[in-house]
Structure 1
Amino acid sequence: MKFKLLGVLFLLFVSCSDDDRVIDDLALEGDWVLSNVICYCSFDEDVDFSLTTINFSSSRAMVTVSHESENIFFRENGEHFYGGQANRINFSDGSVYFFETKGEQLTLTFEDNPDIADDEVTYVFVRED
């Protein structure tokens, strides 16, 4: 009887597919262009946020960041693995962002540390054509 129970549990475990996502990131898939940064900071009037682009690959759990200017927004250039749960993205450096997609807009909001004043920052991206 124990072997039958173990067999059933094994089949249930094996039958779980990759479609059971821990993070609801399918809406992130594709290319995004930074359109605005909202924070307790200031930028020169001529800052062109659109020189920063990101690409989410949910199948690889990776975001690729590209900056075409000397300004670095969001993360360093390159590929970054991510994980998370529901609408939270975690990176290996311990940073966490809440994400929300509405139509062609993606909002990433840094999960601030209550012990650090003025670390709130929100990145607004639009889907690249």
Structure 2
Amino acid sequence: MKFNLVAILLLFFISCSDDDRIIDDLALEGDWVLSNVICFCSFTEDVDFSLTTINFDPRRGMVTVDHESDYEFFRKSGEHFYGGQANRINFSDGAVFFFETQGDQLTLTFEDNPDIADDEVTYIFNR
């Protein structure tokens, strides 16, 4: 029984490679600067979204978030592992975001929980 489990796990790891991406994240790679947050919330006029930057490193499956202001948008500062499928990014805390890239713009939309009112939020980043 143990041998079968080890054989299956070994086969799984051998079959995975960098060319077999589960998430289409090559378009995410690199540095992004927050330009806008769209939500059922309000911000003071002096909020500078551009003080929040992110960097996706698909080789490591990590996104690094940096906030140079009192506000924390998207994720807390630091490195976060991510995974997912197609255009969905999953984090270990259960947060899921849909992403779309168009040229130099990245849109990350939090997956809405229908049981929670007004949790919709979209982050717009630019290169």
SS in 1 for 2:93: coil
1:17-56 correspondence runs (5 A): 17-56=17-56
Query: Closer, same or farther in 2 for the Cα pair 1:16/1:78, shift >3 Å?
Result: closer
Equivalent in the alignment of 2:7: none
Within 1, Cα distance between the matches of 2:64 and 2:33?
Answer: 12
SS in 1 for 2:27: helix
SS in 2 for 1:83: strand
Percent identity of paired positions between Structure 1 and Structure 2: 82
Equivalent in the alignment of 1:92: 92
Structure 2: tracts of 5 or more residues without a match: 1-9
RMSD value, Cα: 1.6
Give the letter aligned to residue 17 of structure 1: S
SS in 2 for 1:27: helix
Equivalent in the alignment of 1:112: 112
The TM-score, its normalising length taken from structure 1, stands at: 0.87
Q: Which of structures 1 and 2 has the bigger CA Rg?
A: 1
The CA deviation string for residues 49-73 of structure 1, in whole angstroms up to 9 with x for no partner, is 0000000000000000000000110
* Count of residue pairs the alignment pairs up: 117
Query: Closer, same or farther in 2 for the Cα pair 1:126/1:24, shift >3 Å?
Result: same
Within 1, Cα distance between the matches of 2:36 and 2:70?
Answer: 16
1:124 aligns with 2:124: yes
Within 2, Cα distance between the matches of 1:126 and 1:20?
Answer: 27
Query: Closer, same or farther in 2 for the Cα pair 1:41/1:64, shift >3 Å?
Result: same
The CA deviation string for residues 76-119 of structure 1, in whole angstroms up to 9 with x for no partner, is 00000000000000000000000000000000000010000000
Within 2, Cα distance between the matches of 1:45 and 1:87?
Answer: 32
Equivalent in the alignment of 2:82: 82
Equivalent in the alignment of 1:7: none
Where in structure 1 do 4 or more consecutive aligned residues deviate above 6 Å? none
